[in-house]
Amino acid sequence: MPKYRIKKDDTVLVLGGKDKGKQGKVLKVVPEKGRVVVERVNFIKRHTRASQTAKGGILEKEAPLDISNVRVVCPACGKPTRVGRRRIENGKTVRFCKKCGDLVDK
C-alpha cells in the first residue's frame, strides 16, 4: 500500500471534477483505495428507508474523491502545493511545502 502525503484535517484544493476549485478539510483518508473524503465537497444524495431507529428520506453526504484530484494548501503561503518529507534535528519526519519550504506539520 503506498504512503500518501495527505492526512486527516489538512486543507486541500480540488483540482478536477464537478467541484474543481473548491477548498475543504480532509475528513477521512482511505489509503487502500487511494481516496479522500473532503468536507462540503462531492455531495451525493442517498435515499434511505425508515427504520425503528432512523428516519427515512433523502440524505446528502460527502462521497470520496480520488487522492490525485486534490492538492494540499500550504498554511504559510496559502497556495496549493506538492508536499515533501524531511527529517528534522530530533529525527522526526515532517512534511514541508515544495513552493515556500515552510513546514506543513507544526
Report which residue type is found at 19.
Answer: D
Structurally, at CATH architecture level, domain 1-73 sits in: Roll (2.30)
106 residues of the chain, pLDDT tens digit each? 788 999 999 999 999 999 999 999 999 999 999 999 999 999 999 999 999 999 999 999 999 999 999 999 999 999 999 999 999 999 999 999 999 999 998 7
Q: Note whether 53 and 34 are within 8 A (CB).
A: no
SS3 100: coil
C-alpha cell, 88: 528534522
SS3 68: helix
Report which residue type is found at 100.
Answer: C
CA distance 63 to 75: 25
SS3 104: coil
Sequence ranges of the domains in the chain: 1-73, 75-106
